[in-house]
Amino acid sequence: MVVEPLAEADPREIGPYRLLAVLGHGGMGRVFLGTASDGRLVAVKLIRAALADDARHQGRFRREVAAARRVRGAYTAPVLDADLDAPTPWLVSAFISGPSLQQVADAGTASDAASGATTDATTVGIAPRTLPEEAALRLAAGLTAALHEIHGAGLVHRDLKPDNILLTDESTTTGVPLTANDKGVWVVDFGVALATDDAPGSTRLTRTGWVVGSPPYMSPEQVDGTAITPASDIFSLGSVLVMACTGASPFAGTSLQQVLHNVLYSEPDLLALPNRIRRVAEACLAKDPAERADLSRLRDLIGQAATATRPWPSRVRDLMQAQRAEVERILGPVHDTTTAGAEGDEKIMEQQGNRSDSVHRRRFVARKVRQRPRNRVSTGGGGSPAD
């Protein structure tokens, strides 16, 4: 999560949600940090104005909303609201505070550059080392749990990559250690998800010459256009896990064509991985989907994650703290809680979190914001959101 200030042309309100900052950009649109009427922080995805009248992109956005609503669990951000018939369609989900795995890698790149270390900038999919073995196993366990929820909802994610994986650490703010069933891993973005109850062999959203997914983390069947099943996500999990430990996709190359060739034909070099990680990666990265491990087998290979007060390395914790500080800055100072009803009062809310049948209570501070008259979309400088 990289928090950017709103531009002059950015909307200030979407439906009943007040927008505070920009969280990210994508081909379909932008994601904003916002607040609900009860003070909760939310993530608001707004389709690009240039695509709002495009029937194909509208259809894709509708499928994304439908897919995200099908998934209910502790490892994916729940959809809270959406208006698909608005002049500029939007989707609201729970705000997850934490860096993506890609941002962790990028922070390492910046650190290496500052220290004089060099990397091969011409290689597609290369990043510095990110996670030590125990943290990588926790990541693998969290991704396995997330895929259990996604596949159980009848979906294939199709774009499991470092950008779509968020790392969180509840213990940093609450002091309560993460348990074995709370991995601190979230999977987001169902923009290219595929329903497994589509016709067999369906490649919906795919056109001739189009690549659906992120090449260094795609499965062979995504590259060659054959039938997509949940095993495709298992292959992507293996690629993400290798990147998390070595800093590189196992299929990285100097061009897109080489990356796609590697995914289809090259056997990944896993010798640098710790033994436990290598066994998991090998089970995921078989070229033949029928030969890949299923989720049950992966859970056996990964084992049980230990309870931890610091599940992630210091680089990740530093990013988390910096992002929380930026959100606090955007929200502004908290006023004295003895002033009942004043703008900015702290409101202690209890949030129920369910991690694989274990229920624990979390406390977080949500600030009430003064509500203004609500338009469907209002912009600070007039016009449509810039993208």
Euclidean distance between CA atoms 244 and 217, whole angstroms: 12
CA-CA distances (angstroms) from residue 221 to 188, 212, 224, 260? 22, 11, 5, 11
Compute how many other C-beta atoms are within 10 angstroms of the C-beta atom of residue 281: 24
- Helix, strand or coil for residue 189? coil
Say which amino acid occupies 17: Y
Question: Contact, 244 vs 130, CB < 8 A?
Answer: yes
Euclidean distance between CA atoms 268 and 281, whole angstroms: 10
What is the DSSP code (8-state) at residue 168?
A: -
Euclidean distance between CA atoms 200 and 155, whole angstroms: 13
**Which tokens is 245 given?**
């430990």
Catalytic residue among 159, 189, 233, 387: 159
Give kind and range of the element (H or E) at residue 167. strand 165-167
Give percent helix, percent strand, percent coil of the chain, each to the nearest 5.
Answer: 35, 20, 45
H-state helical runs in the chain: 55-70, 101-114, 133-152, 170-174, 220-224, 231-246, 256-265, 275-284, 295-302, 314-331
Question: Contact, 145 vs 304, CB < 8 A?
Answer: no
Question: Contact, 169 vs 286, CB < 8 A?
Answer: no
**143 φ/ψ angles, rounded to the nearest 5 degrees:** -65, -40
**Angle formed by the axes of helices 275-284 and 133-152, to 10°?**
30
Tell me, yes or no, if 159 is annotated catalytic. Answer: yes
Euclidean distance between CA atoms 313 and 322, whole angstroms: 15
Euclidean distance between CA atoms 81 and 132, whole angstroms: 38
What is the DSSP code (8-state) at residue 176?
A: P
The set of catalytic residues is 159
